[in-house]
Structure formats: structure tokens, C-alpha cells
Amino acid sequence: MNKIIIGDYIVKSFGVGDEQRNVLDGVSVEIKEGEFVSVMGPSGSGKSTLMFALSGMDGINSGKVVFDNKDLSAIGEKQLSDIRRTEMGFIFQQPTMLKNLNILDNIILPSIKGNRKNTVKILKKARNLMERVGISELEKRDITQVSGGQLQRAGICRALMNNPKIIFGDEPTGALNSKSAQEIMDILSEINSDGTSVMLVTHDAKVAARTERIMFMRDGNIVSEMKLPKFDGLDIDGRVEKVTAKMLEIGI
């Protein structure tokens, strides 16, 4: 498989002078097309910072990030913004939705910007995605009139609107109950099975156990990795046991 992302010796620092510290301390990472990966580690280990660096959402102090053969470290902010909008999808723990728009309008908003001639096509795609994730009846609801799991499904629809090559998820199940979290992971697994790469940041061993490769971080470095076979819907407890044992082994 081709590599969709290559991060080469990434350094990201915060603070100045004597208070400066490296949140990413020379991290190198590769993600292949169609891969389902997760990143685990204690708070402050650099998990989310790594995701922000690899997606171009945050600049780096040194090193290089290459996405689909494009050096994100060497392009302008407008081109970077266009890449994030059209080739990447983002799902966060708390989806950022506009309160004055209904669910459907929130889903189509990033896609319709500057593209109003294709409104009918965009609406059709949004409705198809909403049906796929089971929220087609909610399109006219305000964001305060749906559950957290339903709102997260809307966030997934929005992330998929432009057929991204990779989905980034920062604790996408962190605010959900166990049933909703499982349903969101089922959707992400289905998206990955269709060929979209997925990278998740998570504290949850059950979430990580659904992925095929787990990177463990501590103090700004990837200290270990483990691979799992593609999840077939069976033996989740056994997979969680393996992930937990690995966490204990490396002390995170």
C-alpha cells in the first residue's frame, strides 16, 4: 500500500526561553492508504498534537509532514486550508456546529462554501450520508434537539462530504455512552472498509482495540506499536485484553 502520510522527525515546541518544551520530540510516523490506526498515551503525551501536526492544523518547529506527496511544511495557508477541506475529514469529541443552523445545514456548510451552483448535488449527498449513519429523520432538528451520539453522526457526515482520503478523529467517542461509542466505531470501521484511512486519538482501550495498528506515546515520543488483525466483530474482549496488557508492559 502507498503511504498517505509521512511524518519525518517532527518537533513541536510550546513556550519560550527556559520554559520551552518539546511536545513532539522528533517523532517519525507513516500511515498507509486504507489503514486504520490509533494513538494512545497519557494526557500530555503529545497524541492530539501529533494528529494536529500530521493534518496541517498546527505548524511544526522542525521536521517534515508529507500528505499524499505534498509537503505540508512548504505550502501556503490557503492551499493547506483547501487540502484540509477537500482531502481530509475531521471528527472531534465535541462536534463544532453552528447553533443557528439545523443538522442538515451544518453538514453541508463546509461543502457549499464557494460552490453554490452544486447545491442540489451537495444536498443529495448529505441526505445519503445521513441515511447511511441512521439520522435521516433529523435533518431539520436544531443541534440542541439531538443526542450526543446523533450529533457525532452528523459530524461524521460532514467529515465525509468531500470524499476525504483520511479521517482524523480526536477522542471521537470520548463524550458518548458505551452504546453510542460502539455505534460510532461501527460507522468508522465501515468507512475504513470502503478504503478511507482513519487515524484516531483515544484514551479508550476498547476504541483502540477496534483498529489495526496502535501507536503508544509518552513524553512526546512514540515508544511502542502493536498490530492487530482487522476487526471482524468478534472477540472484542480478547483484543482489549491485549491492548491493556501492552499498556501495562510499557507503563502508560
Calculate ∠ Cα 44-229-37, nearest 5°.
30
Find the CATH number of the domain harbouring 13: 3.40.50.300
> In the prediction, which pLDDT does 14 show?
87
> In the prediction, which pLDDT does 203 show?
93
Q: CA-CA distance, 9 to 12, in Å (whole number)?
A: 10
> In the prediction, which pLDDT does 202 show?
95
Q: Which domain holds residue 244?
A: 3-250
> In the prediction, which pLDDT does 150 show?
93
> In the prediction, which pLDDT does 114 show?
61
Report the number of distinct structural domains present in the chain.
1
> In the prediction, which pLDDT does 95 show?
81
**182 backbone dihedrals φ, ψ, rounded to 5°:** -65, -40
Q: CA-CA distance, 8 to 199, in Å (whole number)?
A: 17
Contacts of residue 151, defined as CB under 8 A and 6 or more positions apart, other chains included, come to 95, 97, 143
Given a cut of 50, the residues of the chain with pLDDT beneath it are none
pTM value? 0.92
Q: CA-CA distance, 118 to 112, in Å (whole number)?
A: 8
Q: What is the CA radius of gyration of the chain?
A: 18
> In the prediction, which pLDDT does 159 show?
94
- 23 closest CA partner among 72, 65, 61: 61
